[in-house]
């Protein structure tokens, strides 16, 4: 049987890297995207060791022309993407909105919203034409309600929910499925990026609780992608056991 192809954005770390491993183990061939060439090669090697055929595309998801050129370069079997995992995203800062860094805001909006939209626009028309495919957007519990200091990041993940729901409506006449996976506390490099490299501050985010891992979220994405054809996993909220929502966390279980 012909192997399916999954395209994973932001595949060089965290949830994206975990999705690359999980889908490779599950029999998919992979298109991996990321900005860091060295890390991209490392993830590509991991996937190949798990039996996947891989092509890697190095570009910044915020650069629409670069994304267009990268997707246009896909030929042969690589031009047929069965699963698009819009994972590339980040949080920057935890400032009050009226004290926020505008550059941080633009980076989050350009990555979390515009980058996701760009990849959706480039890949989904082919899925609609083939009447087959699956879009998995990595959202967040932060998209359900704002939390202190989360303002713009929460807004971008709320946008991911609305965009995902809107796409599901737009493709309802086809067999294309659309999923929003919304993780809670996941221990990756997410908080290190948010705090601009401050490891101690990042570690405190997970203090007193056993957080989720990127592998946990990759398992959910893989399950959604491999549900029976008549089953559409529309939305999944995934929290650590002692996390109730975006703000209520019992930190006596680390």
**What 3-state class would DSSP assign to 131?**
coil
Question: Catalytic one among 28, 98, 147, 153?
Answer: 153
CB 181 within 8 A of CB 218: no
Contacts of 55 (CB under 8 A, 6+ apart): 30, 31, 32, 74, 78
What phi and psi, each to the nearest 5 degrees, are found at residue 151?
-10, -75
CB 7 within 8 A of CB 84: yes
**DSSP secondary-structure letter at 18?**
H
Q: Quick check: is 153 catalytic?
A: yes
Task: Characterize 41-54 residue by residue with b for buried, 16 or more Cβ atoms within 10 angstroms of its Cβ, and e for exposed.
Answer: eebbebbeebebeb
What are the beta bridge partners of residue 31? 7, 55
Residues tagged active-site:
153
């Amino acid at each position: 049987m012909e192997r399916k192809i999954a395209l994973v954005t932001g595949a060089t770390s965290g949830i994206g890297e975990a999705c690359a491993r999980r889908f490779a183990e599950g029999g998919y061939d992979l298109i991996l995207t990321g900005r860091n060439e060295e890390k991209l090669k490392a993830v590509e090697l991991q996937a190949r060791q798990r039996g996947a055929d891989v092509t890697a595309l190095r570009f910044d998801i915020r650069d629409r022309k670069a994304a267009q050129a990268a997707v246009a370069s896909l030929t042969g079997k690589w031009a047929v993407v069965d699963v698009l995992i819009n994972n590339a995203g980040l949080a920057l800062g935890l400032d009050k909105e009226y004290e926020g860094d505008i550059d941080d805001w633009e980076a989050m909006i350009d990555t979390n919203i515009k980058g996701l939209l760009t990849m959706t626009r480039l890949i989904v028309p082919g899925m609609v034409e083939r009447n087959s495919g699956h879009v998995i957007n990595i959202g967040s519990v932060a998209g359900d309600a704002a939390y202190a200091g989360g303002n713009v990041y929460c807004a971008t993940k709320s946008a991911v929910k609305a965009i995902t729901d809107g796409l599901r409506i737009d493709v309802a006449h086809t067999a294309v499925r659309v999923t929003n996976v919304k993780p809670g506390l996941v221990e990756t490099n997410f908080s290190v990026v948010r705090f601009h490299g401050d490891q101690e501050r990042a570690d405190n985010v997970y203090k007193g609780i056993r957080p989720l891992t990127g592998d946990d979220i990759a398992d959910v994405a893989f399950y959604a992608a491999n549900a029976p054809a008549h089953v559409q996993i529309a939305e999944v909220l995934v929290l650590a056991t002692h996390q109730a929502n975006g703000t209520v966390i019992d930190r006596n279980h680390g």
